[in-house]
Amino acid sequence: MTAKMYISAEEREKDLLNPIIQRIHEIYEDRKVTELNLFLTGVAAFNNDSAVTLHWILTQEKPEHLTLATFGYGTMAVPELAIISAGDRRWIRPDAGIRLVAKFPSKYYTGEPSDEEREKGEELQNNPAYHDQERLLDIVNNFIEVKDCVNRLITGRDLSSWGFVSGCGLDRELELLPKFA
């Protein structure tokens, strides 16, 4: 049996992680479910800590009998791309816009930092959100060269050409979703 779960932009924007985790665990506990189709819809980003937690649950707590298919539908940032990467099969809308941002002092930062960036970089190193962002970039870097994509817009087509996604296209269900659900 296949379970379908939608995580809306509103849920991500309001950082409603606990109800999302509860729904995932309910699916995990149902032995009849052999596949989970997880859809990220709309335009919004999880906070970094929530994305790290959700990635952990999707990869480390997932029962062995379950296959996870992740579907990206809409504009994404690093947190959503890391969640999509948790899928055994990954689908992203071809025209989805993805922006990978790495600020100084990230190991993925490219270019020469300004004095202002250096100053802010020292503050960032003491910020847990910065370390979560680095973990998310590390997750994505397992699939694509982050330094080659950082601070520019990439698309689902790009990810498909780099082998990140299993399919670049829309199945019938994604076609029926409103673009900014």
**pLDDT tens column, 63-115:** 999 999 999 887 888 899 999 999 999 988 888 888 888 889 999 999 899 99
pLDDT tens-digit readout, 106-140 = 999 998 999 999 889 888 888 888 899 999 999 99
Pick the CATH number of 2-176 from 3.90.226.10, 1.20.1440.120, 3.40.50.2000, 3.20.20.30: 3.90.226.10
Residue 4 backbone phi and psi in degrees, to 5: -115, 135
Which pTM does this prediction carry?
0.85
Cα separation, 101 vs 77, in Å, equals: 8
**Quick check: helix, strand or coil at residue 30?**
coil
3-state secondary structure 67-120: EEEEEEECCEEHHHHHHHHCCCEEEECCCCEEECCCCCCCCCCCCCCCHHHHHH
